[in-house]
Amino acid sequence: MQGCIDYIRAHRDKVRPGAPIDFGWLPEFIYIGTPFFEPNDWQIIGSIEEIAESLRYAKTLGVNVLHLHFRSRSAAEYCDQIAAFGRDVFPLVDS
C-alpha cells in the first residue's frame, strides 16, 4: 500500500502541488472481546492494544481515514462493538 500512496502523492504534486489529499483504508472485520466465531486472517481480534496496533499501522502509511466494520450477531452487539471501539481502542489508535 505504501507504494500506491507514494505514487498518488507524486502525481498529485505534479498536477496540484501540496493540495490536500485523504487516504482511506478498509481494514479487516474487527471484533473486540472474546470472539463467537473461529478467527481467521480477515479479522482483527485480540487485546485492545493488539487491535490498536494493527490500525496504527495505517497511520504510518499516511492513511487519515479508517472505514471500519465490526463482526456481530445482532444490532445490539454491533452497537456494543462500536461503543467499545470508541471507548477502549480509538484512544490508543489516535495517540
The C-alpha cell at 32 is 473486540
- Measured between alpha carbons, how far is 29 from 27 in angstroms, rounded to an integer? 7
Domain-embedded: residue 54: yes
- Measured between alpha carbons, how far is 3 from 78 in angstroms, rounded to an integer? 34
What is residue 40's predicted lDDT score, i.e. its pLDDT? 80
Domain-embedded: residue 6: no
Domain-embedded: residue 32: yes
C-alpha dihedral sign at 22, 28, 29, 30: negative
- Domain extent at residue 36: 22-93
State how many domains the chain has. 1
Report in angstroms the alpha-carbon separations of 95 from 23, 49, 50, 81: 19, 12, 14, 20
Task: Decide if 22 contacts 78 (C-beta within 8 A).
Answer: no
**Which pLDDT tens digit goes with each residue over 52-92?**
999 998 888 889 899 999 999 999 999 999 999 999 999 99
Binned at pLDDT 50, 70 and 90, residue 42 comes out as: confident
